[in-house]
């Protein structure tokens, strides 16, 4: 590369890194708002955030960025496709084009509409009455259609929405993958329901003092590799993980004194996200090579640690003695096997965030099928409640008693997050496929877990996934890591492997 080209690239990186730095200031404000900010500070915080996001948008869509990008593309045309500079420029181009293609008026209308729609959703959910929310959803759908047309798509408009959360993913592919899950899962869940083996689920609903839950949560997060000197664990209402910058990744949870699992597995989940964040290449901070691939890949890391590792027998062979000792009054009469069965109970339920590993994906399937049909014009919004309940009955064998526990339970649609739900199940699929590959390459993983050793697995994930940032898009990464494209059989095998011995199915 010529000297002037190097200078131009450096200048582009300088600008982009500065924008990311500014964006990371907003992350501190976000974390603060959701953990410690006093209620009186809400209005001012909204103004602060609007200012920062406006500045980030303005700086990123500046014509100079477009010029520099163009020049960088020309000068890099000879470099390898997966060389860091090519990757950075490819992804910056993708982001830049999206941002400049969407008219400012549409962005503002979407923002205004979703703010009001969220309020309407809160009210609709409170009253468990979907009708008043539907006009808002219609409006959002229409705006999102305009959005999809503005940025373009591969085959159908819904692909454009998917691309925001899972770049490169398509409705057609997703439909196939999810469809492959449907029947086997429905059958598995039916067999489990018919089994006369049942865990003692009340075990988890005994008394678990909050301070001890925090101790064991921190212990587990540290044990699987979370660096507490470069992060924090705090309490919040809706748990999240947020990366503030190199050396500062924070997780949150909420404790329920009458449920062991909510905080514990929540912490493992957020720790999974955090480990990905802490494993990114710090020297690329602010550039695509230092950023995570997609929501689905991010979710694969959280699900892997929460479920594949965190609900495994080997994990609890190590952890249960600690937990039993700490909560002696509540667990003294509970064996490891009983505890393990309880944390792996499968029971069809109405609320997604409380669903078990098997039924969870059917919750997502219902949402995907509905939002895809709505967006394609094959379904009217007025029919959502009936279709929702019908699908629940068909897939899960249960029917929500009201819309609050049905189609109104999640904020996503009201917040304009259409095309987002599938990333949850993609995360589950990726996690099972990644772990199957890890088990092939690493020996004695279960023996390691049973003795509290998790570093081999973490290092493998760092080496295979984390350190690459956005070098590969999700579909390509899956092939690189596991040797084949995303295949739903890994998740099904994993689930069968767990539930067959437990439920005798």
Mind telling me the catalytic residues? Answer: 270
Task: Select the span of 36-44, 209-217, 387-395, 425-433 touching its own copies (CB under 8 A).
Answer: 36-44
Between residues 229 and 378, which has the closer beta carbon with respect to its own copies? 229
Among 38, 81, 196, 333, binds its own copies (CB under 8 A): 38
Please give the Cα distance from 109 to 103 (Å, whole number): 10
Q: How far is residue 350's CA from residue 204's CA, in Å, rounded to a whole number? A: 19
Choosing from 4, 7, 42, 200, the residue that interacts with its own copies (CB under 8 A) is 42
Least Å distance, CB 31 to its own copies, is 8
Position among 5, 11, 37, 95 found at the interface with its own copies (CB under 8 A): 37
Q: In what order do the strands lie in the sheet with 231-235?
A: 231-235, 248-253, 241-245
Q: Does residue 58 belong to the site contacting its own copies (CB under 8 A)?
A: no
User: Is 78 a binder of its own copies (CB under 8 A)?
Assistant: no
**Which positions from 273 through 312 interact with its own copies, judged by CB under 8 A?**
285
- In the DSSP assignment, the letter for residue 110 is H
**Candidate segments 42-50, 61-69, 204-212, 268-276, binder of its own copies by CB under 8 A:** 42-50
By the rule CB under 8 A, 40 interacts with its own copies: yes
Work out which of 5, 11, 22, 476 binds its own copies, going by CB under 8 A: 22
Cite the DSSP H helix spans in 152-260. 157-165, 171-194, 210-224
What are the structure tokens assigned to 269, written together?
């989940």
Among the residue ranges 18-26, 191-199, 328-336, 405-413, the one whose residues contact its own copies (CB under 8 A): 18-26
- C-alpha 61/C-alpha 71 separation (Å) is 16
How far apart are alpha carbons 221 and 213 in whole angstroms? 12
Q: Are strands 248-253 and 231-235 parallel, antiparallel or unpaired?
A: parallel
Identified binder of its own copies from the candidate list 7, 14, 18, 451, rule CB under 8 A: 18
Applying CB under 8 A, the span of 1-9, 20-28, 309-317, 426-434 interacting with its own copies comes to 20-28
Cβ count near 392 (within 10 Å): 21
* Cβ 17 to its own copies shortest distance, Å: 9
CA distance 384 to 370: 7
d(CA 32, CA 46): 12
Please provide the size of the chain in residues.
505
Nearer to its own copies, 21 or 351 (CB): 21
Instruction: Write out the binding residues for its own copies, residues 206-265 only, by CB under 8 A.
Output: 227-232, 234, 244-248, 250
Cβ proximity to its own copies: between 144 and 250 the closer is 250
**Share of the chain residues as helix, strand and coil, in percent rounded to the nearest 5:** 70, 5, 25
Minimum separation from the CB atom of position 13 to its own copies (A): 15
Helices and strands in the chain, H and E counts: 21, 3
Which structure tokens are listed for 361?
């994906």
Answer yes or no whether residue 84 interacts with its own copies by CB under 8 A.
no
Contacts with its own copies, 94-113, as mask; x by CB under 8 A:
--------------------
Minimum CB distance to its own copies smaller for 22 or for 107: 22
Using the rule CB under 8 A, which residue among 6, 44, 101, 447 binds its own copies?
Answer: 44
Among 9, 52, 216, 274, binds its own copies (CB under 8 A): 52
Closest CA to 137 of 421, 413, 418: 413
Q: Identify which range of 17-25, 171-179, 288-296, 433-441 contacts its own copies by CB under 8 A.
A: 17-25
> Could you tell me if 181 and 492 are in contact, meaning their C-beta atoms sit under 8 angstroms apart?
yes
Q: Does 325 bind its own copies (CB under 8 A)?
A: no
CB of 474 to its own copies, least distance (A): 27
45 binding its own copies? (CB under 8 A): yes
The dihedrals phi and psi of 254, each to the nearest 5 degrees, come to -135, 140
Q: Is 258 helix (H, G, I), strand (E, B) or coil?
A: coil
> Cβ of residue 56: shortest distance to its own copies, in angstroms?
12
Show Cβ contacts of residue 211 under 8 Å, excluding neighbours closer than 6 positions.
none
Q: Does 28 bind its own copies (CB under 8 A)?
A: yes
Specify the DSSP element, H or E, that contains 9: helix 3-35
* 3-state helix/strand/coil string of 364-382: HHHHHHHHHHHHHCCCCHH
Residue with tokens 């089994």: 195
Which range in 44-52, 153-161, 407-415, 450-458 contacts its own copies by CB under 8 A? 44-52
- 48 in contact with its own copies (CB under 8 A): yes
Question: Is residue 47 involved in binding its own copies (CB under 8 A)?
Answer: yes
- 29 sits near its own copies (criterion: CB under 8 A): yes
On whether the CB atoms of residues 138 and 84 are closer than 8 A, the answer is: no
**Residue choice 41, 103, 401, 504 for contact with its own copies (CB under 8 A):** 41
Q: Which tokens go with 262?
A: 């909510």
- Contacts of 227-231 with CB under 8 Å at 24 or more apart are 227/278, 230/278, 231/274, 231/278
Q: Given the rule CB under 8 A, which residues bind its own copies?
A: 18, 21-22, 24-25, 28-29, 31-32, 36-45, 47-48, 51-52, 227-232, 234, 244-248, 250, 285
């Amino acid at each position: 590369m010529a000297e002037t080209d190097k200078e131009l690239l450096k200048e582009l990186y300088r600008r982009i890194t500065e924008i990311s730095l500014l964006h990371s200031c907003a992350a501190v404000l976000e974390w603060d708002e959701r953990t410690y900010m006093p209620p009186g500070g809400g209005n001012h915080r909204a103004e602060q955030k609007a200012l920062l996001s406006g500045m980030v948008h303005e700086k990123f869509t500046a014509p100079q960025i477009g010029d520099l990008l163009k020049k960088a593309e020309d000068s890099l045309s000879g470099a390898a496709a997966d060389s860091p500079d090519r990757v950075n420029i490819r992804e910056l181009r993708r982001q830049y084009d999206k941002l400049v293609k969407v008219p400012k008026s549409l962005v503002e209308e979407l923002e205004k509409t979703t703010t009001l729609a969220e309020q309407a959703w809160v009210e609709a959910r409170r009253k468990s009455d979907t009708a008043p929310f539907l006009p808002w959803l219609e409006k959002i759908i229409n705006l999102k259609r305009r959005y999809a047309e503005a940025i373009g798509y591969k085959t159908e408009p819904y692909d454009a929405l998917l691309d925001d959360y899972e770049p490169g993913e398509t409705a057609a592919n997703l439909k196939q993958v999810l469809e492959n899950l449907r029947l086997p899962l429905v059958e598995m869940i039916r067999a489990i329901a018919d089994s006369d083996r049942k865990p003692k689920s009340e075990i988890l609903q005994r008394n678990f003092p909050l301070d001890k839950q925090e101790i064991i949560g921190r212990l587990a997060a540290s044990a699987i590799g979370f660096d507490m000197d470069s992060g924090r664990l705090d309490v919040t209402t809706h748990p999240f993980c947020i990366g503030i910058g190199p050396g500062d990744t924070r997780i949150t949870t909420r404790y329920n004194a009458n449920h062991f699992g909510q905080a514990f597995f929540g912490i493992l989940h957020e720790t999974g996200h955090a480990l990905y964040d802490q494993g990114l290449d710090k020297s690329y901070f602010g550039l695509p090579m230092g950023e995570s691939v997609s929501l689905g890949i991010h979710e694969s890391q959280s699900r892997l640690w929460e479920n594949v590792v965190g609900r495994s027998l080997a994990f609890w062979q190590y952890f249960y003695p600690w937990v039993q000792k700490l909560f002696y009054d509540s667990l003294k009469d509970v064996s490891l096997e009983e505890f393990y069965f309880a944390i792996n109970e499968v029971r069809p339920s109405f609320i997604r965030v409380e669903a078990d590993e098997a039924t969870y994906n059917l919750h997502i399937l219902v949402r995907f099928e509905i939002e895809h049909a709505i967006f394609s014009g094959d379904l009217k919004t007025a029919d959502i409640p009936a279709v929702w309940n019908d699908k629940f009955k068909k897939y899960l064998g249960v029917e929500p008693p009201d819309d609050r526990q049905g189609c109104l339970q999640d904020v996503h649609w009201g917040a304009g997050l259409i095309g987002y739900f599938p990333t949850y199940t993609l995360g589950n699929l990726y996690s099972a496929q990644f772990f199957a590959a890890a088990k092939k390459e690493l020996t004695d993983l279960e023996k390691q877990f049973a003795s509290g050793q998790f570093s081999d697995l973490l290092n493998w994930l760092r080496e295979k996934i984390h350190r690459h940032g956005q070098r590969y898009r999700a579909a390509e990464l899956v092939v690189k890591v596991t040797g084949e494209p995303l295949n739903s059989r890994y998740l099904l095998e994993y689930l069968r492997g767990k539930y067959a011995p437990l439920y005798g199915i």
